[in-house]
């Protein structure tokens, strides 16, 4: 993608199919020191500015983060669940249960763990993705380790760069969250949601340099930021049918990094 002309790259970005999510926070000031903080990702209409939204569709919600579980410069570990408040999602989110079954304890889509203080130039976040279906959840004879995918999200030095690697599949790698300059960010049409820019933005690129997702930070009492996923660039398997980097994995890794940077103040660096 680096060899493309700017005009060609701009045209491709304008023609991309996207899904846009807003990340809502339950506590206004609970990000620096989580106080029973919960985050919820709601899907908004990609064709309408966020300021003009009339309805949203909750997709994911985190477990409650306790301030007393927070480590030095690190947020507490947390889980991500499918939202219970979205009957319209159907099969779009793996692991969703029916209304009758929703009263049971939900099975997480992801578990995010911050292993502990690792120094100023090194940080590795452990991420477990539960790639399950409703049938897998309620069929207890299935090996619980079978549907799991384990990822690491490792920071490169002191930069705001994070390499994603799947430790359960050596073929999955080369994905990187990193920051862009302000001119590069503002040239992405999908990030124009009608809200002003703030520091702490970050994008996800694939092994070939293609833009997979972008997170835009917000300075808002209720909204932490917005996540735009370019669905045409989701990397798929050999049969070009099943994404190997799905929306759940992208959302989980984004939230893991954003919370880490908020607690450690790294989000104040760069654009």
pLDDT in tens, 43-68: 987 554 444 444 445 689 999 887 76
Torsion sign across C-alpha atoms 147, 206, 162, 187: negative
Q: If pLDDT is split at 50, 70 and 90, which confidence band does 173 have?
A: confident
21 with 41: CB under 8 angstroms? yes
Instruction: With residue 204 as reference, give the H or E element that holds it.
Output: strand 202-205
Query: For strand 57-62 and strand 122-130, is the pairing parallel, antiparallel, or unpaired?
Result: unpaired
The mean pLDDT of the chain is 75
Least trusted range by pLDDT, from 61-70, 149-158, 176-185, 199-208:
61-70
Q: Which 8-state DSSP code applies to residue 108?
A: P
pLDDT in tens, 216-241: 998 888 899 999 999 888 766 566 65
Q: Where are the beta strands (DSSP E) in 17-160?
A: 18-25, 39-44, 57-62, 78-82, 110-113, 122-130, 148-156
Predicted structure pTM score: 0.78
Using DSSP's 3-state secondary structure scheme, residue 7 falls into: helix
* Residue 241 structure tokens: 């049918």
Q: If we measure between CA atoms, which residue out of 76, 168, 162 comes closest to residue 122? A: 162
What pLDDT shows up at residue 50? 45
Residues 6+ positions from 130 with CB-CB distance below 8 Å: 95, 107, 108, 109, 110, 111, 147, 148
């Amino acid at each position: 993608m680096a060899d493309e002309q700017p005009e060609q790259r701009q045209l491709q970005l304008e023609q991309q199919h996207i899904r846009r999510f807003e990340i809502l926070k339950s506590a206004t000031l609970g990000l620096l020191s989580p106080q029973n903080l919960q985050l919820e990702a709601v899907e908004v209409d990609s064709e309408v500015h966020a300021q003009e939204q009339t309805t949203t569709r909750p997709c994911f919600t985190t477990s409650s983060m306790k301030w007393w579980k927070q480590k030095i410069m690190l947020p507490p570990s947390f889980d991500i669940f499918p939202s219970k408040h979205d009957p319209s999602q159907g099969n779009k989110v793996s692991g969703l249960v029916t209304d009758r079954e929703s009263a049971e304890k939900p099975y997480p889509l992801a578990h995010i763990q911050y292993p502990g203080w690792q120094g100023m130039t090194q940080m590795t976040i452990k991420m477990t993705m539960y790639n399950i279906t409703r049938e897998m959840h309620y069929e207890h004879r299935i090996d619980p380790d079978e549907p799991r995918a384990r990822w690491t999200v490792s920071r490169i030095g002191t930069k705001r760069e994070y390499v994603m690697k799947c430790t359960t599949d050596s073929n999955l790698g080369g994905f990187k969250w990193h920051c862009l300059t302000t001119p590069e960010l503002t040239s992405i049409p999908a990030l124009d949601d009608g809200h002003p820019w703030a520091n702490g933005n970050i994008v996800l690129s694939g092994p070939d340099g293609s833009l997979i997702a972008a997170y835009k930070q917000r300075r808002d009492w209720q909204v932490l930021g917005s996540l735009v996923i370019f669905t045409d660039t989701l990397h798929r398997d050999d049969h070009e049918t099943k994404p190997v980097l799905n929306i759940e994995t992208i959302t989980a890794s984004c939230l893991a990094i954003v919370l880490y940077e908020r607690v450690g103040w790294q989000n104040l660096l760069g654009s």
